Amino acid sequence: MQNLDSQEKTSRVNPLAELFEHTTINGMNLANRFVRSATWEGLADKEGSVTKRLSGMMVELAKGELGLIISGYTFVSPEGQSSPGQMAVYDDRFLPGLRDMTEAVHSAGGKIALQLVHGGCNANSNLTGLELVGPTAVQIEDQLGCRSAGKEEIAAIVSAFARSAARAREAGFDAIQIHAAHGFLLSQFLSPAFNKRTDEYGGGLENRARFLLEVVGSVREAVGPRYPVMIKLNAEDFLVGGMTRDEAIQVSTMMERASVDAVEFSGGTVASAVEFMPPRPGRTQNPGQEVFYRDAARLYKQKVSIPLILVGGIRSYEVAEELVRNGLTDYIAMSRPLICEPGLIRRWREGDRRTSECVSDNACFAPASDGSGVYCVTMAKKRSKAGR
Ligand SMILES: Cc1cc2nc3c(=O)[nH]c(=O)nc-3n(C[C@H](O)[C@H](O)[C@H](O)COP(=O)(O)O)c2cc1C
């Protein structure tokens, strides 16, 4: 923090940037620069409808004073579901539950965006009973196999994203985020490691980004110009032959031109080595090791003007403050620290600036999978040991 100032000043530094200041993203007013990064909660019902417990979890986060909550990934088409208890938005029948969620969050003073996803070859045919579709055919263990999507299927998925975005707006979400990271469908198309197509959707970056650009274009048309459309992108795939950091910056520039309002940088895919998966396991030993995509953020701020939301490994107030003050990012996003402590931001705002107790052991995935809903298993054990 102290040591980084001179090397990390970039051309787009806002010297007045502070963590607890109000900002706006395309008309969406945010009370501070903290964002809950999308986190699958595993609490939707079998169909994908919002449950009371799921809304309750969002309310806890809103009471924790996050500037913006991004929902767990929500599938836009039945064959695009990856996880049990995942939210769905592909039909109007999901509207009442989604509306309950936004109303509950707004009543608690929060702002919430819906994250839209299609799992592609990382959907789960055991859950959906449907064939998987992706850029290129692959056989996947224990699954029905992933087929290469035809042009009509691509067009249908583009419309599914657009209709889902319109539905999110109708349900009262303050913004939407298109999930194009982590090796799900849109990320698979971007990545030469997954995308071996020889038509206009494969090959050079312009072609690999075509599907995403079509999605962004039709989403923008569906929601209109004055509604925040954000995107989550990999800063790097960390795969042999995967999307590189330079390409991620180029895609971000394309997003800016396509009227996207903010980019969230994450990285890795479910196929990457475990130490480069999006939720990298293992506690960082000191604040200097916290930020997974610092170099990518620096490059982004030199080339791209729309706001950056940075996620991955951020655990301490001092690091968050340094990133924002030095212009490395506009927003600080976290996932696991907020599973561990939904009230973390309120605590920091009140002056208790101790670092998150999250140990990044990823034990939180198990209860999301078994229907109990995501929670910090390690913290719960610690509390029960201490008799709290
Ligand atoms: C239980 C769990 C569920 C997640 N679900 C999503 C998701 O639905 N969408 C998404 O984009 N990322 C998801 N992620 C990844 C996080 O948003 C984030 O990118 C990653 O955990 C790194 O941030 P962190 O170090 O603050 O946890 C999930 C992570 C965890 C631990």
Q: What is the pLDDT of residues 25-80, one digit of tens each?
A: 999 999 999 999 999 999 999 999 999 999 999 999 999 999 999 999 999 999 99
**DSSP states of 5-37 as a string?**
HHHH--TT--TT--TTS-EEETTEEESSSEEE-
pLDDT of 148 above 80: yes
User: Given the CA of residue 117, which atom of ligand 1 is nearest to it?
Assistant: 9
Percentage of the chain surpassing pLDDT 70?
95
> Which residue's alpha carbon is nearest to atom 2 within ligand 1?
39
Q: Which residues pair with 266 in a beta bridge?
A: 234
Segments forming the whole domain that contains residue 285: 2-385
User: For 77-105, how does the pLDDT look when each residue is reduced to its tens digit (9 = 90+)?
Assistant: 999 999 999 999 999 999 999 999 999 99
pLDDT tens string 320-361: 999 999 999 999 999 999 999 999 999 999 999 999 999 999
Please name every residue paired with 112 in a beta bridge, in sequence order, or none if there are none.
Answer: 69
Q: Which ligand 1 atom minimizes the distance to the CA of 315?
A: 26
Confidence band of 285 (pLDDT split at 50, 70, 90): confident
Per-residue model confidence (pLDDT) at position 7: 40
Residue 14 — pLDDT band, cuts 50, 70, 90? Answer: low
User: Which stretch of DSSP H or E encloses residue 176?
Assistant: strand 175-180
Q: What is the pLDDT of residue 8?
A: 42
Count of structural domains, the chain: 1
Regarding the beta carbon of 179 and ligand 1, being less than 6 Å apart is answered yes
Centre of ligand 1 from the C-alpha of residue 264, in Å: 12
Helix H or strand E encompassing 346: helix 344-350
Give, for ligand 1, the residue of 35, 36, 37 to mutate: max count of ligand atoms closer than 8 Å to Cβ: 37
Question: Which whole number is the average pLDDT over 135-153?
Answer: 86
Q: What is the pLDDT of residue 11?
A: 40
| Ligand 1 site, residue 266, Cβ cutoff 6 A | yes
Does 279 contact ligand 1 (Cβ within 6 A)?
Answer: yes
Output the CA–CA distances (angstroms, integers) from residue 304 to 252, 288, 298, 307, in the order listed. Answer: 7, 25, 10, 8
User: Which residues, 6+ apart, have CB-to-CB distance to 132 below 8 Å?
Assistant: 79, 119, 120, 121, 123, 125, 140, 143, 144, 145, 146, 147
Kindly indicate the confidence band of residue 6, based on its pLDDT and cuts at 50, 70 and 90.
very low
Distance, CA of 207 to chain centre: 23
Per-residue pLDDT tens over the stretch 161-198: 999 999 999 999 999 999 999 999 999 999 999 999 99
CB of 308 within 8 A of CB of 329? yes
Integer Cα distance of 65 and 337 in angstroms: 14
- Tell me, what CATH number does 164's domain have? 3.20.20.70
Mean pLDDT of 370-383: 93
Q: Which long-range contacts (CB under 8 A, 24 or more apart) does 345-351 make?
A: 345/32, 345/34, 345/64, 345/65, 345/66, 345/67, 346/63, 346/64, 346/65, 348/317, 349/20, 349/32, 349/65
